[in-house]
Amino acid sequence: MNKQDQLQQTGGGNPKVSKSVLAGAAFLMATSSIGPGFLTQTTVFTQQLAASFGFVILISLILDVFAQVNVWRIIGVSGLRGQEIANLVFPGLGFVLSIFIVFGGLAFNIGNVAGAGLGLNAMLGLSPVTGSIISAICAILIFVIKEAGKAMDKVTQIAGGTMMLLMLYVAISTTPPVGEAIARTFAPSEISLFAIVTLVGGTVGGYITFAGGHRLLDAGIKGPENLSAITKSSVFGVGVTGILRVALFLAVFGVVAQGLTIDPDNPPASVFYLAAGNIGYKMFGVIMWAAAITSVVGAAYTSVSFIKTFHPLIEKYHNYVIILFIVISSTVFAFIGQPVNVLIFAGALNALILPLALGTILIGAYKKEVVGPTYKQPIWLTIPGAIVVISMGYLAIVTLIEQVPLLFK
């Protein structure tokens, strides 16, 4: 733990340090959700739904906010990680949840490493495998240095800010029909439940649900006295994701509205090329690399945070375990390639992990051994949280029944 994190844990330090860590946790959650899949999903769904995709974004953001606020608050007030809360709710449940989180994180990290390779390919012309190896080394360096937590906060903030500026630039360049997009956001001509499930699962599903909350615990920001700051940080993180999603949606919608043809082999790269030519393609490379490398970091960090409490040696050497996690992901991609079926199945699995994880957290919110004798969970958070659990559980099961058989055709 670095010196600044120690100051947070003991209640010392200055407000600037606290704000930096809170922003870092928000960006860790946001950038963890903005990976190669995020770029592709947003592009493909905008092609399919046009302006009505705005409604999908709106609904997913509402569900995201209530999911994240509940999870961050209970983790913060209890001072316990997700798996520890789950074990207190039902003995052994934490181990089950950890297995799902680690498997999903590892599977997605293979795709994230591949995406980083593709980003450097677009930027510098390197082969995807070479680019993935270089990217993995960059991610590993973050956890080699002494103040890994501080470095991770800065990297995610810089990467998130860069992606936001570039996406907004491209969104403006394509001159989308903003009025139509706004109108269809509140009165859609078509609704896709599959798109809603995919967006929610990709934004707050799996390990992403716990990324920011676990980061704040590692920085020592916890307890009832910090609930207001924790809540604001969680909402800010969802807001960053929302801005990036909307910017990319508008960029793609602008291209679609002009009647231009998007390349189905690489939809997001095609959008940037059509919007700004070769410069746009290079910008896509920057965005893809930034999105992928921060997702590699977030997936590895959060996945390992789910197992480091199981044994003192994992806790002691958790940075090295994180590095091993990244190395395994990179090795699988370099020597085997991208296992598409596993990645798609892991994506669907993320949608199932969310109701399990959030449902467990909501039960924990009413257990004194989790939150202590004085904390009272607001009903205005519990009811929407329960709605997210029920609706996402139902939609995820329906989606899996419909989609999984298609993977094995």
Give the mean pLDDT of 365-376.
91
Mark out the alpha helices in 317-374 (DSSP H runs): 318-335, 340-364, 368-371
| Token pair of 184 as six digits | 């269809």
Say which DSSP state 42 is in.
H
What pLDDT shows up at residue 197? 80
Say which DSSP state 146 is in.
S
Percentage of the chain with pLDDT > 70?
89
Answer with the residue of higher pLDDT: 203 or 99.
99
CB 120 within 8 A of CB 134: yes
Q: How far apart are CA 86 and CA 43, in angstroms?
A: 36
Say which DSSP state 229 is in.
H
Q: DSSP for 62-95?
A: HHHHHHHHHHHHHHHHHT--HHHHHHHHSTTHHH
Give the mean pLDDT of 107-136.
86
What pLDDT shows up at residue 7? 40
Domain coordinates of the chain in residue numbers? Answer: 3-10+20-407
- Give which of 303, 298, 209, 286 is closest to 27, Cα–Cα: 298
Query: Model confidence over 302-321: pLDDT tens digits?
Result: 888 888 878 888 788 888 89
Cβ-based burial of 363 (10 A; exposed 0-12, middle 13-18, buried ≥19): middle
| Token pair of 146 as six digits | 């002494």
Output the average pLDDT for the chain. 84
What pLDDT shows up at residue 351? 66
CB 109 within 8 A of CB 299: yes
At 409, is the pLDDT very low, low, confident or very high (cuts 50, 70, 90)? low
Contacts 24+ apart (CB under 8 A), 330-339: 330/113, 330/132, 330/133, 330/136, 332/110, 333/110, 333/113, 333/114, 333/117, 333/129, 333/132, 334/129, 334/132, 334/133, 338/110, 338/111, 338/114, 339/107, 339/110
Q: How far apart are CA 395 and CA 196, in angstroms?
A: 9
What pLDDT shows up at residue 336? 67
Q: Which CATH superfamily is domain 3-10+20-407 in?
A: Amino acid/polyamine transporter I (1.20.1740.10)
CB 199 within 8 A of CB 41: yes
Query: Model confidence over 132-143: pLDDT tens digits?
Result: 889 999 999 888
What pLDDT shows up at residue 361? 94
Q: How far apart are CA 68 and CA 212, in angstroms?
A: 9
Q: How far apart are CA 28 and CA 212, in angstroms?
A: 6
Q: Using CA atoms in the order 222, 160, 139, 218, what is the torsion angle rounded to 10 degrees?
A: 0
Contacts 24+ apart (CB under 8 A), 123-127: 123/282, 123/285, 123/286, 123/289, 124/285
Q: How far apart are CA 88 and CA 248, in angstroms?
A: 41
Report whether pLDDT(260) > 50: yes
pTM beyond 0.85: no
Query: Model confidence over 243-257: pLDDT tens digits?
Result: 988 998 999 999 888
